[in-house]
């Protein structure tokens, strides 16, 4: 077997790993903060995710009472964009890998 042939065989394994990393599911989590108004947090959820009032309030109450709420789950790139948008509105938002998926 030549050296070139050996390299060709190793390539598919790398590709598979890369594909798996991109297919992972990520969670957008909003954490509680003692400063932002409840009505403000509700408005931000409506603006960014297009939630209706009931859903926005449910997530706001989760943040307020439980300290965190998972507001979106999905592909990493979109999750990052959501975290950035939430941080632009000064909400404490983080990205977490969804270990269940």
Partner 1 sequence: MKQIEVRLNLEVVAPLLDFIKPVIKDLEHETAFAPEMAEADRDLEGLWREGLIHTQTEDCRLLLGLFGAEFVETGRVVFQQDNSDAVLRAASAIRLKLRESALASLSDAAIEGGEIELENLSEPERLGFAAYLFLATLQEIIIKHLGI
36 is an interface residue for partner 1 by CB under 8 A:
yes
Residue from 23, 47, 67, 75 binding partner 1 (CB under 8 A): 47
Give the nearest distance from C-beta 62 to partner 1 in angstroms. 18
43 is an interface residue for partner 1 by CB under 8 A:
yes
Burial class (CB in 10 A: 0-12, 13-18, 19+), 55: middle
78-88 burial, b at 16+ Cβ within 10 Å, e below that, comes to ebeebbebbee
Question: Which residues are CB-contacts of 64 (< 8 A; sequence separation ≥ 6)?
Answer: 32, 38
84 is an interface residue for partner 1 by CB under 8 A:
yes
Residue from 16, 70, 78, 88 binding partner 1 (CB under 8 A): 88
DSSP single-letter state for residue 90: T
Instruction: Give the interface with partner 1 as residue ranges (CB under 8 A).
Output: 33-37, 39-40, 43, 46-47, 80, 84, 87-90, 92, 94-97
């Amino acid at each position: 077997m030549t050296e070139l042939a050996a390299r060709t065989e190793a390539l598919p394994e790398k590709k598979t790993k890369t594909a798996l990393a991109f297919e992972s599911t990520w969670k957008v989590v909003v954490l509680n903060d003692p400063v932002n108004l409840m009505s403000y947090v509700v408005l931000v959820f409506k603006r960014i995710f297009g939630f209706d009032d009931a859903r926005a309030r449910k997530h706001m109450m989760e943040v307020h009472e439980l300290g965190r709420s998972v507001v979106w789950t999905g592909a990493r790139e979109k999750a990052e964009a959501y975290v950035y948008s939430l941080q632009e509105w000064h909400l404490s938002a983080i990205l977490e890998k969804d270990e269940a998926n």
